[in-house]
Amino acid sequence: MAGSETDIRPSEARQRLLDTATRIFYGEGIHSVGVDRIISEAKVTRATFYRHFPGKENLVLAYLQAADQAIRGQVDTAIAAGLPAPDTLRAVAESIAQGIQSAGFRGCAFLNAVAEYPDPDHPVHQAVLTHRQWFLDTINTLMASIEKTEAEPAAQHFVMLRDGAMAAGCLFDRVLICETFLRGVEGLIRTHAARQPA
Amino acid sequence: MAGSETDIRPSEARQRLLDTATRIFYGEGIHSVGVDRIISEAKVTRATFYRHFPGKENLVLAYLQAADQAIRGQVDTAIAAGLPAPDTLRAVAESIAQGIQSAGFRGCAFLNAVAEYPDPDHPVHQAVLTHRQWFLDTINTLMASIEKTEAEPAAQHFVMLRDGAMAAGCLFDRVLICETFLRGVEGLIRTHAARQPA
DNA sequence: CGCCCTGTAGAACGGTCGTTCTGCCTTGCC
DNA sequence: GGCAAGGCAGAACGACCGTTCTACAGGGCG
């Protein structure tokens, strides 16, 4: 009677596996850690692992899917606040900056993952592309509700700043990176809004 | 009597090894390819490989060092042209855009590498940091020769756009990415130059 | 000539990879 | 009570990992 993918009770062992995978994959990379490591730190046995996941690749996909849902939740919350679009964009940027300055930040989980899966046909690579397309579309919609004709390049610009900030956030001084990022976003929003007053 | 690191004749086998490593590491990642693969594609034997490199890690460092020298060469050429600083910055941005649109582009070799080596103490990670520091310093110097007080945030902004463009360059439409990047750089240069008219 | 360096060729090392397997013990529902 | 499902424990698989080894062939230089 065990449920399908919409099962409400995800089995404690499975959740422990996914949490451990998230922590280790995000913190140390994917190819360089073996399933034994995740299994032992999640305090489960190999048999249990292979009962819940067909293999390592599936665990990686589940890890990215969880990250995707977490970010969508953040953005959806910002949108649900019902503020004007520029303020929503600022809120999204703020949540990105907050993430960069949070403990254990190791860059963008999706950019890191795609660096290890260059093959465009690979499921992991495609999961990254899907996530990024959603994010770009979301920003594009927000930009379009400010001004339509130039919304797309503005959204591209926003995402480019985000990618740069996420990439450099664990390589340089985080505070400086966030200042630069937020300043760039603010300039971008103002320039874009100035095209169509109110 | 074999030369030290300043040897002029780098031994054909060693060069073949390095070229093959560059191609495969850049194209497919580092942890996911074994030395056997590089050895066989470089048409050398294991013994020859281990005669020239203490191990795989050293080959990775040599790969990044070669990439570092290539980029420094590009930037030095742009600087040596003796154009005014804004034009030099434009030339650097153009060469980045050209790289993104070139065949086989797979993102920034250094950002890709650091995604696989998160440990800040690891030699590979530090090689990435060193390269990035040089690049930031170089852009900072160019910005400072336009206007001094705000040069540092402007340089940070430039690098952030570069990182974003390089990261997205192999995930989205390259032409669009380059347009967005060059437009952003142009705006940045103009804004920065406007602080101190000539 | 003799020696060292560079290269080829291939076997072999211990370790780890992802994966599969056989058991046994609990828990909860029919 | 019975029985399937989920979890634990641990052995074992073949494949590949990075690395080391022996053995031999050519070539330049003292």
pTM of the model: 0.93
Residue B2 has pLDDT above 90, yes or no: no
Q: Average pLDDT, stretch B132-157?
A: 97
- Residues whose CB falls within 8 Å of the CB of residue B34, separated by 6 or more in sequence, listed in order: none
pLDDT at B198 over 60: no
Chain B CB within 8 Å of residue A91 CB: no
Is A29 an 8 Å CB contact of chain B? yes
So what's the pLDDT on residue B196?
Answer: 73
Please calculate the CA angle A170-A175-A180 and round it to the nearest 5 degrees.
Answer: 95
Write out chain A residues lying below 8 Å of B115, CB-based: 29, 107, 111-112, 115-116
Measured between CB atoms, does A165 come within 8 Å of chain B?
A: yes
Q: Note whether A38 and A13 are within 8 A (CB).
A: no
Indicate yes or no: strand D within 7 A of the C-beta of A44: yes
Residues of A in contact with B32 (CB under 8 A): 31, 116
Answer whether A161 sits within 8 Å of B161, measured CB to CB.
Answer: yes
Q: Is the pLDDT of residue B114 over 80?
A: yes
Of B152, B143, B162, the residue nearest B88 (C-alpha): B143
A173 lies within 8 A of chain B by CB: no
Rg of the Cα trace of chain A?
A: 19
Helix (H, G, I), strand (E, B) or coil at A53: coil
> Averaged over B22-31, what is the pLDDT?
98
Residue type, B168: A
Which nucleotide C1' is nearest B49 CA? C7
Give residue B197's region: left, alpha or beta (phi > 0; psi -120 to 50): beta
**Predicted confidence (pLDDT) at residue B5 exceeds the cutoff of 60:** no
pLDDT of residue A36: 94
Lowest mean pLDDT among A3-7, B96-100, B166-170: A3-7
Least confident of A21-30, A162-171, B11-20, B185-194: B11-20
Contact A32 B156 (CB under 8 A): no
With b for 16 or more beta-carbon neighbours within 10 A and e for fewer, the B69-100 pattern comes to eebeebbeebbeeeeebbebbbbbbeebbebb
C-alpha separations of B155 from A174, B16, B99, B151 in Å = 15, 37, 20, 6
In order along its 198 residues, chain A shows pLDDT tens digits of 333 333 335 678 899 999 999 999 999 999 999 999 999 999 999 999 999 999 999 999 999 999 999 999 999 999 999 999 999 999 999 999 999 999 999 999 999 999 999 999 999 999 999 999 999 999 999 999 999 999 999 999 999 999 999 999 999 999 999 999 999 999 999 999 998 765
**Residue B45 pLDDT > 50:** yes
Lowest mean pLDDT across A25-39, B6-20, B172-186: B6-20
Q: What is the pLDDT of residue B7?
A: 39
In whole angstroms, D28 C1' to B1 CA is 12
pLDDT of residue B11: 80
Give the integer Cα–Cα distance in Å for B185 and A195: 20
**Stated in angstroms, how far is B154 CA from C3 C1'?**
61
What mean pLDDT is predicted for residues B2-31?
A: 79
Q: How far is A118 from chain B (nearest CA, A)?
A: 6
Chosen from B116, B150, B156 to mutate, greatest number of chain A CBs within 10 A = B156
pLDDT of residue B82: 95
Q: What is the pLDDT of residue B3?
A: 35
Residues in chain B: 198
Nearest to B160 among A129, A168, A187 (CB): A168
The Cα A69–Cα A59 span in angstroms is 15
Identify the pLDDT of residue B10.
Answer: 67
Predicted local distance difference test score (pLDDT) of residue B9: 55
Quote the strand ranges of chain B, DSSP E.
Answer: none
CA of B50 to C1' of C5 (A): 15
Q: Which residues of A touch B167 (CB under 8 A)?
A: 111, 163-164, 167
Distance B1 CA to D29 C1' (A): 11
